[in-house]
Amino acid sequence: MKKVSVILTCYNGARWISEAIASVLAQTYRDFELLIIDDGSTDNSKEIVASYLSDKRVRYIYQSNRGFSAAINRGIKESSGSLIGFIGQDDLWLPNKLELQVKYFSKHKNVDLVRSNYYSIDSEGRVIRLVKERVPPFSSRQKMIEHLFLHNFIGFETVLVKKKCFDDVGLFDERMVGFSDYDMWMRVAGDFNIGYLDLPLVKKRQHEFQLSKVRIEDVLKDEFLMAKKAIDRYPFLKRIIGKKIASLYYAWGIALLQKGNNKEAKQKFIKAIKCQPWKLKATAAYIAPALYNLIWNHYIKTTPEIRAGLNWLEG
């Protein structure tokens, strides 16, 4: 059986980190190490983690604040397993996650990364919805890369990946604030095979302090950088770059609307329309930003069933 290295990055994670650690230690698959990389926390995260250090599988590493990607890279460098998994300080793994994914690798020798579905939960741990990132069968690796470029279907916390992938494509891009995992999967997809378990194995927490919400504009800038790097690596993506960039400008406009900055939002919607003139939702948002923001706010509060029918509103 393969040894697994689980990397948990922490930055002021005192509120939920104990639950995250407990969910890893409760795994039915036992041959793993848990590397907790504290990226310069100033709260009492260290004291909380200390209560778990009697378990010899747990290692705590503190470093000065260098950001999410640098913390992940530190974990990879310190890891000793041939398989690597990731968990956020506010997320949870279901008990059989590692067991099922390791079994998947034993049955699918040619697969290098396996992903799964996940539950979206609220700050209190209540399930909001089941997220299934199913994708159609692809006729070629190029088609799969094109699909991934337009929509990231690989959930970071759901992944179990062979360490050799990082030896080949390199580590996470430390210039990026929050989308370095998307950039990583784009690089991995070119040379390695991606598998899928159609089961929810993770609970991913949604809350107001998430990086993707607190620093959404920085995160979107990361995705622009990811797109540029992907084009350099896969020139065939040039034919769909307009669609990708239009979706990013649209998402940026929505983020600005949420802040009440209608003027700058309209500038982003114009850029989206220039990249993709038939992007009707960007046109609607540009013409009536206040009304569109009202519709958007109602949309994000709807049930998963209604959202499924209105997902054209998203990027």
The pLDDT value recorded for residue 307 is: 45
Q: Are 3 and 32 in contact (CB under 8 A)?
A: yes
Dihedral, 165, 170, 172, 175 alpha carbons, nearest 10? -160
The pLDDT value recorded for residue 266 is: 85
- Say how far apart CA 192 and CA 168 lie, in whole Å: 10
- Say how far apart CA 212 and CA 172 lie, in whole Å: 17
The pLDDT value recorded for residue 187 is: 98
Q: 262-291: b or e for each residue (b if 16 or more CB lie within 10 Å)?
A: beebbebbebbbebbeebebbeebbeebee
Question: Beta-carbon neighbour count of residue 66 at 10 Å?
Answer: 14
User: Which of 22-26, 39-43, 173-177, 298-302 bottoms out in mean pLDDT, i.e. has the lowest?
Assistant: 298-302
Q: Is 301 helix (H, G, I), strand (E, B) or coil?
A: coil
Mean pLDDT of the chain: 88
Q: Are 149 and 237 in contact (CB under 8 A)?
A: yes
Q: Are 188 and 141 in contact (CB under 8 A)?
A: no
List of domains in the chain: 4-208 (3.90.550.10), 234-313 (no CATH)
* For the chain, percent of residues with pLDDT exceeding 70: 86
User: Which of 111-120, 189-198, 217-226 bottoms out in mean pLDDT, i.e. has the lowest?
Assistant: 217-226
The pLDDT value recorded for residue 288 is: 65
Q: Give 213's contacts (C-beta < 8 A, 6+ positions apart).
A: none
Confidence bin at 272 (pLDDT 50/70/90) = confident
Q: Are 181 and 172 in contact (CB under 8 A)?
A: yes
pLDDT tens digits, one per residue of 100-147: 999 999 999 999 999 999 999 988 889 988 999 889 889 999 999 999
Q: Are 52 and 25 in contact (CB under 8 A)?
A: yes
Q: What is the pTM of this model?
A: 0.86
**End-to-end CA distance of the chain, in Å?**
41
The Cβ-side half-sphere exposure at 158, using a 13 Å CA radius, reads: 27
Over residues 252-277, the mean pLDDT reads 84
Confidence bin at 278 (pLDDT 50/70/90) = low
User: Which of 223-237, 254-268, 288-302 bottoms out in mean pLDDT, i.e. has the lowest?
Assistant: 288-302
The pLDDT value recorded for residue 299 is: 53
